[in-house]
C-alpha cells in the first residue's frame, strides 16, 4: 500500500491551480476567455444605463420631446439675426448677415450606439478605440428618436445642418453611409470628423470655427457639455459643475442637451467609491 502524504485540502488546491492554468492557456490561444459566456450582464456597471436607453419608454419620450423643443428654438433663432449659439460669435460679432446653421454632435445625439455598448457588456469588454472603430465601420447605428424629424424640420426652415463628431477620419465614409441609410442628408462636407495631426482635435472648437466662418450658428445640440463649450475637461466634478453653471443662460435656449447616462466626459471627473455618493442633504 502506498501512503499519500498530501492532505485532501492540498489536493483540491492543486486541482484548482491546474484548471486555472488550463483556462489561462485557452484564453491566450483563442484571444478570449471561455469564462466570458458565464459573465452576468446585470453585474456590469453599464447595464442599467444601456438597458434604460434601449428599453424604457422614458428615454424615447425624452429625446423626442427634446428635439421637438429644439426645432421651435431654431424657428426663433432663424428670424432673429442677433441670435447665435456660438460663444466666439457672441463675443466678436459680425455674424448677423451669415447663413443660419445648426451643429449637432453625432454619437448618442443623432446616432444610437447602444448596441455597441451592449456587446461590450455581454462580452465583458471595456471600451477600446479598436473595437469602437470596428463598430463604426459596420454602419449599424440606429437613429436617436426625434433626430431625423428635427434635421428635416431645420432644413425645411432653410437652415444648414452640420454633424460635428469625435469619430476619426478613418471611419468618416462609413459614418456618412450610416447616416444616409437612416435618411439623413449626410455628405463628406457636413460630417466633420477629428484628426489631431491636422489640428482638428477632440475639443471641437477648430471645426466649429470653420463652420462659423460662413454661418450664424443658431443651435448647438449634444449629449455632453464638451459638445457645446470649452472648459469641460476638468477632472474635479465640482469645478466642472461650476463651468456648466456659468453657461446656464444658453442651456435650453441656444444649447440643447440630450440624456446619456452610459458614458461621457463627466466620468473622468467623478469621485471614486463611497465618496461619490450622497446619503443626506447637503448642509
Length of the chain: 283
The Cα 268–Cα 129 span in angstroms is: 17
User: Where does the chain show beta strands of DSSP type E?
Assistant: 99-104, 111-112, 142-143, 160-168, 191-194, 215-222, 255-257
**Predicted pLDDT at 38:** 58
How do 142-143 and 111-112 pair as beta strands?
antiparallel
Residues 167, 168, 169: CA angle, nearest 5 degrees:
130
The Cα 100–Cα 97 span in angstroms is: 9
Q: In this structure, is the dihedral angle defined by the CA atoms of residues 260, 261, 267 and 270, taken in order, positive or negative?
A: positive
Are the C-beta atoms of residues 226 and 220 closer than 8 Å to each other?
no
Question: pLDDT tens digits, residue range 199-247?
Answer: 888 889 999 999 999 999 999 999 998 888 877 777 888 888 888 899 8
Provide the 8-state DSSP code for 2: P
Question: pLDDT tens digits, residue range 4-34?
Answer: 344 444 543 544 455 444 444 444 444 444 4
The Cα 112–Cα 142 span in angstroms is: 5
**Predicted pLDDT at 235:** 81
Instruction: Write the CA distances from 2 to 5, 6, integer angstroms.
Output: 10, 12
User: Model's pTM, two decimal places?
Assistant: 0.83
Task: Go through the domains of the chain in sequence order and give each one's CATH number.
Answer: 40-263 (3.40.50.1000)
Low-confidence ranges of the chain (pLDDT < 50): 1-9, 11-12, 14-16, 19-37, 283
Question: Can you spell out the DSSP letters for 148-200?
Answer: HHHHHHHHHTT-EEEEEEEEEGGGHHHHHHHHHHTT----TTTEEEEBGGGTB
Those residues with Cβ within 8 angstroms of residue 267's Cβ, 6 or more apart along the chain or in another chain? none
C-alpha cell of 272?
A: 471614486
The Cα 105–Cα 97 span in angstroms is: 25
**Predicted pLDDT at 147:** 98
58: number of CA atoms within 13 Å, CB side?
6
**Predicted pLDDT at 180:** 98
Amino acid at each position: 500500500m502506498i501512503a499519500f502524504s498530501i492532505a485532501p485540502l492540498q489536493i483540491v488546491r492543486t486541482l484548482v491551480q491546474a484548471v486555472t492554468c488550463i483556462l489561462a492557456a485557452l484564453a491566450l490561444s483563442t484571444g478570449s476567455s471561455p469564462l466570458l459566456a458565464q459573465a452576468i450582464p446585470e453585474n456590469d456597471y453599464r447595464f442599467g444605463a444601456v438597458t434604460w436607453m434601449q428599453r424604457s419608454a422614458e428615454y424615447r419620450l425624452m429625446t423626442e420631446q427634446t428635439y421637438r423643443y429644439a426645432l421651435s428654438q431654431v424657428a426663433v433663432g432663424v428670424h432673429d439675426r442677433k441670435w447665435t449659439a456660438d460663444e466666439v460669435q457672441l463675443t466678436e460679432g459680425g455674424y448677423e448677415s451669415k447663413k443660419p446653421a445648426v451643429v449637432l454632435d453625432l454619437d448618442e445625439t443623432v446616432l444610437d450606439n447602444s448596441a455597441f455598448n451592449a456587446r461590450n457588456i455581454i462580452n465583458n469588454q471595456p471600451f477600446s478605440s479598436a473595437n469602437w472603430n470596428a463598430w463604426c465601420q459596420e454602419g449599424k447605428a440606429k437613429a436617436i428618436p426625434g433626430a431625423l424629424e428635427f434635421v428635416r424640420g431645420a432644413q425645411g426652415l432653410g437652415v444648414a445642418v452640420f454633424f460635428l463628431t469625435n469619430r476619426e477620419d478613418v471611419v468618416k465614409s462609413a459614418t456618412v453611409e450610416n447616416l444616409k441609410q437612416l435618411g439623413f442628408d449626410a455628405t463628406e462636407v457636413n460630417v466633420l470628423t477629428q484628426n489631431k495631426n491636422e489640428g482638428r482635435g477632440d475639443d471641437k472648437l477648430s471645426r466649429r470655427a470653420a463652420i462659423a466662418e460662413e454661418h450664424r450658428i443658431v443651435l448647438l445640440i449634444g449629449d455632453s457639455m464638451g459638445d457645446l463649450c470649452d472648459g469641460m475637461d476638468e477632472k474635479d466634478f465640482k469645478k466642472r459643475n461650476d463651468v456648466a453653471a456659468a453657461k446656464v443662460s444658453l442651456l435650453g435656449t441656444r444649447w440643447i442637451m440630450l440624456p446619456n447616462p452610459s458614458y461621457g466626459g463627466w466620468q473622468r471627473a467623478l469621485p471614486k467609491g463611497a465618496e461619490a455618493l450622497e446619503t443626506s442633504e447637503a448642509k
